[in-house]
Amino acid sequence: MTLEQIQRLRMYGLYLSRKCPNIVELSRELLGLHCWFHRNVVFSALIRGAGIAGWKTALIKTWLYRGTLHGVAFDDLPTLLALHNGESWLGRYYAKELLETIAEDVIRLIEDGVYSRAEMREIFATNYDDEVIKNFFSPWGGIFVSLAGQGKVAFRDMTSRSFDLIDAEPTQTSAEVLPNLLNRYFTAYGPATLDDAAWFFGFMRDDKKLLRDQPLGEYERFELNGKTYYHCGEPKDMRDIPELTLLSGFDPIIVSYTERGAVLPPEYKKKVILSSGICLPAIAVDGKVAGLWNIKKGEPVVEFFSAQSRHIERAAYELVDNMRFRTAGRVW
């Protein structure tokens, strides 16, 4: 199988050459929608044909694998969270008793109507030193990441910075949910390697043994450049790679693999993925990233990295302008 064939299958699986009509179904199919910036959920949905009516509450915004924020179907959350089940870096530096005490106090405060991290910082500051407050109530999540991983807390909605209690605690172990999740990954994201799957699910070196121990005989496989790729076969309604495709910021087809050359030419990598780790909205021509797009101050912006035909430039601008029109007043 060639890189072009790999890209063809991936674009089909990730709904870039076909449509998914529902944002909740899309989230299930793609194992969550990346939402470090919430507007990327809207962009990703519209690009893939899904409607965005009620999108702010249709999905739950919470932390998943790799410590990243995703929009998730609520009934899918216990299964997805079971992979890591509340693991937190705080546990490497603070006693279990302190973590449990602060977690219980946070839950009680939310029950009493305190939803803001800023309010909680002030309340806890009367009993804890600055270093504890800084780490447990960090803008990167702190104790909320741990509580979210246990299925006890999530953001109030897709645009909110405040939290609310939920009931989505995992009831299975990582080993129990992994076969199903791996199958879902290879179905949507394949062809992919086990290293890709490990990256996607946030498995560290020691955890990779779980992947290597999985029965993989049900998957189709092939070798390319010394790597083994797995997928679930070619669908009967396979589509061609679109001539022009908008990709959301942190688009799954870019950020879900260890090697991104099939979609992101190396010479453009630093223009798309910034040193801060932010992945910008991109434009793919014949399946390969060729430029950037955005909506700034209510206006469509298109920037190609090299000269394109007038047809491509005009079509790209029209796609971004349509995105501007469909999101106006609904995202920002």
Hey, where are the domains in the chain? 89-149, 244-327
Q: What is the pLDDT of residue 35?
A: 92
The pTM score is 0.93
Q: Give the percent of the chain with pLDDT over 90.
A: 84
On whether the CB atoms of residues 29 and 71 are closer than 8 A, the answer is no
pLDDT tens digits for range 78-131: 999 999 876 778 888 899 999 999 999 999 999 999 999 999 999 999 999 999
**Helical H runs in the chain?**
3-13, 23-29, 39-47, 55-58, 77-81, 96-111, 117-124, 130-136, 143-149, 174-189, 194-201, 208-212, 252-255, 269-272, 310-327
Residues 6-25, mean pLDDT to the nearest whole number: 96
- Check residue 52 and report its DSSP letter: -
Q: What is the pLDDT of residue 189?
A: 98
Task: Report DSSP letters for 158-189, one per residue.
Answer: TT-SSEEE------S-HHHHHHHHHHHHHHHH
Q: What is the pLDDT of residue 230?
A: 97
